[in-house]
Structure 1
Amino acid sequence: MDKAKLQSFCLTFPGTTHDYQVDWQADRYHVGGKMFAMMGGDAERKPIITLKCDPAHAEELRETYQGIVPGYYMNKTHWNSIFFDSDLSNDLIENLILHSYQLVFEKLTKKVQNQINPK
């Protein structure tokens, strides 16, 4: 998994903003002011991307893939962390990023959604 490609992919979604959280040494990606992805490291500074996920799907992913664990430093029910050195396909990771973005976008008010994605 290439960090630069993931960063570029995250920025392709409408309304996405990026910031860097110095205290966490993490790149964060938001839509409507709400975070949907964070790239940083775990306690051993092992590179990870943390994504929001439907709770039932999150558990299924953790049971299926070794490289997916409960969200590091996040709510373990709603967030997963994926290790950069895992053998997951780029397609799977991109689909999980899209899923995270959609979950966050859907929780925004209709007004904010329409400002981001006018009809």
Structure 2
Amino acid sequence: MKYEWLDQYCLSKKCAEKDFKIDWEAVRYLIGGKMFAMQGGDKYKKSIITLKCKPELGQALRNEYEHIIPGYYMNKQHWNSVYLEGDVPDDVLKQMIDMSYELALSSFSKKMQKEILQVDKND
């Protein structure tokens, strides 16, 4: 895989967790039980990561990079998939992960966001 840092970067997000969804054969990265990234494969078993994105930015990214496509098996307006053997620069992919994490976190109420972010991983 081209992006060796991917797992560590996703897990570096405050209170991020990961699990493996057997039915999807995919690793999911979650915040407060909500998914912000999913790493698996497409129907041809090509490695992808799927991330939430603001619709207008998602479309712009798909127009700019051939290896960013509408979210595989997800809402095509709000999710994008990135082929992990593609040519998307590391900084662009990191920005996409950051945005996806922030979008997932912001979907919670302010009170819940505070509770999630106060969880101590050292418990």
Which TM-score band applies after superposition, normalised by the shorter structure? Answer: over 0.9
TM-score where L is the length of structure 1:
0.94
| Partner SS state of residue 48, structure 2 | strand
| Cα distance in 2, alignment partners of residues 37 and 71 from structure 1 | 11
Specify every segment of 5 or more residues in structure 2 that has no aligned partner in the other structure, as ranges: 119-123
Specify every segment of 5 or more residues in structure 1 that has no aligned partner in the other structure, as ranges: none
Percent identity over the alignment? 44
Deviations 1:65-118 (A, max 9, x none): 101000000000000000001111111111110010001111112222111224
Counterparts of residues 55-94 of structure 1 (less than 5 Å): 55-94=55-94
User: Equivalent residue for 1:111?
Assistant: 111
TM-score where L is the length of structure 2:
0.91
RMSD: 1.0
| Cα distance in 2, alignment partners of residues 101 and 20 from structure 1 | 18
2:87 maps to a residue whose letter is D
Q: CA deviation at 1:6?
A: 0.4
Count of residue correspondences: 117
Contact 1:36 1:104 in 2 (8 A): yes
| Cα distance in 2, alignment partners of residues 108 and 7 from structure 1 | 24
Q: Does 1:6 align with 2:6?
A: yes
User: Equivalent residue for 2:121?
Assistant: none
Contact 1:35 1:104 in 2 (8 A): yes
User: Equivalent residue for 1:28?
Assistant: 28
